[in-house]
A and B are shown apart, each in its own frame.
Chain A
Amino acid sequence: MSETDLLELEIENPVASYLRQERLPHIWCPGCGIGTTVNCFARALTESAMDLDRVAIVSGIGCTGRVAGYLNLDSFHTTHGRAIPFATGLKLGNPDLKVVVYSGDGDLSAIGGNHLVHAARRNMDLTVICVNNFTYGMTGGQVAPTTPIGATQTTMPYGNFENPFNLPFLADACGAVYVARWTVYHVKQLAKAMLEGLRKKGFVFIEALAPCPTLYSRRNRLGDGVDQLKYYKEKSKIVNGADTKDVGLTFQGDIVVGRFVDRERPTWLDAMNEHYSQHFGEKYVPYGVSHGQD
């Protein structure tokens, strides 16, 4: 197949139309897993056949926060930790939109931890994709709320002794309707989970474990990004429907992946409409009902 043939065929990367080409190559390090999650997300968008003008993406600050700048969708790069409040406002202001929050573990569970808890409690109709790389990548590898016990970081040079968050358990306990965890090694499953998350109504929480070769892996002498992927391959066990209590992560220990929770609960808007319809009867005009995603 010669070069001219290719030009005639107009072959381009299947994810190219989802990316702002003028901003590539991106700033993520060689071996960083965030790009792979973006790749999976682009494939999930292709599969979902959604009207892309009705998909909005909101990011916080951090390495993963850059995703909003690279995806060729309506996007907003919010202040640190405030991706979910912004997305909540966006969703309630325009219930037609499918709002995706794409951010990192530090942004969502530390600075924005309270917002995560309350959005899940209210069952706000958001799809939250949390890329967990166990550290604060952009600021130099400080201890994050997800850093496992025993891992060395710049602010814990003798190893971390703080108990980390078990994010799927947190989301489940707060009432998320869909909770899944996959690693960057499980690309097909991650893309499928993102597709299911895009189609699901309610608060969806997907945790994607990703290697951080520059800070987390190097501080802990775990090798390159690809070595971390091999670790994910070796040590991960797929248990769909596992009790989220038992899926906590330990330093280089076993990883339980899968779709943990998939249930139905009325979303915040549905609950509000139902409540006021009962209260005011015919006088009340339901908000954002005629639209919906489908």
Chain B
Amino acid sequence: MSEGEQVKKGKGTVFVQTEVCKGCSYCIDFCPAHCLEFSRDFNRKGYHYPVLGRPEDCTGCDLCGLYCPDFAIFGVRFKDLEKRKQPAPEPLIPARG
């Protein structure tokens, strides 16, 4: 995981696994808030991955996560993150037995 935003802006943020991204730009073109853009650098395979260009616009709706064919990006809302901070951390999906 990387690309966690340093400063809290907007209502949410995205996390990108840069190494599995193939640069298809689905997330960038179909972000409802138009807050993603291509990075200047590229990953080990030579693809430009998405970065949060306008973090103040991100709502953490996770539509990028739904579009991503490579399971490389997902969005979270800050309020969901806050909820998880207080009690013992619980994974979003219960671990499978």
Contact = CB atoms under 8 A, between A and B. Distances in A.
A30 B29 CA distance: 15
Q: How large is the interface on B (under 10, 10 to 19, 20 to 34, 35 or more residues)?
A: 35 or more
9 contacts: A1-B4, A1-B8, A11-B92, A17-B91, A25-B20, A31-B22, A33-B69, A36-B26, A226-B24
B84 interface: yes
B65 to A, nearest CB: 7
A3 interface: yes
Nearest to B90: A10
Interface string B80-97: 010011000101110110
Interface string A22-44: 00111011111111101110010
Interface string B1-31: 1101110100001010101101111100110
B70 A12 contact: no
A226 B29 CA distance: 8
A19 interface: yes
A11 B20 contact: no
Contacts of A224: 24-25
Main secondary structure on B side of the interface with A: loop
Best-surrounded residue of B17, B26, B74 (most CB of chain A within 10 A): B26
Contacts of B13: 1
Contact of B15 (A11, A30, A226): A11
B30 A229 contact: yes
A242 interface: no
Given A35-B70, A36-B68, A9 B26 contact: no
A271 to B, nearest CB: 35
Contacts of A229: 26, 29-30
A102 to B, nearest CB: 15
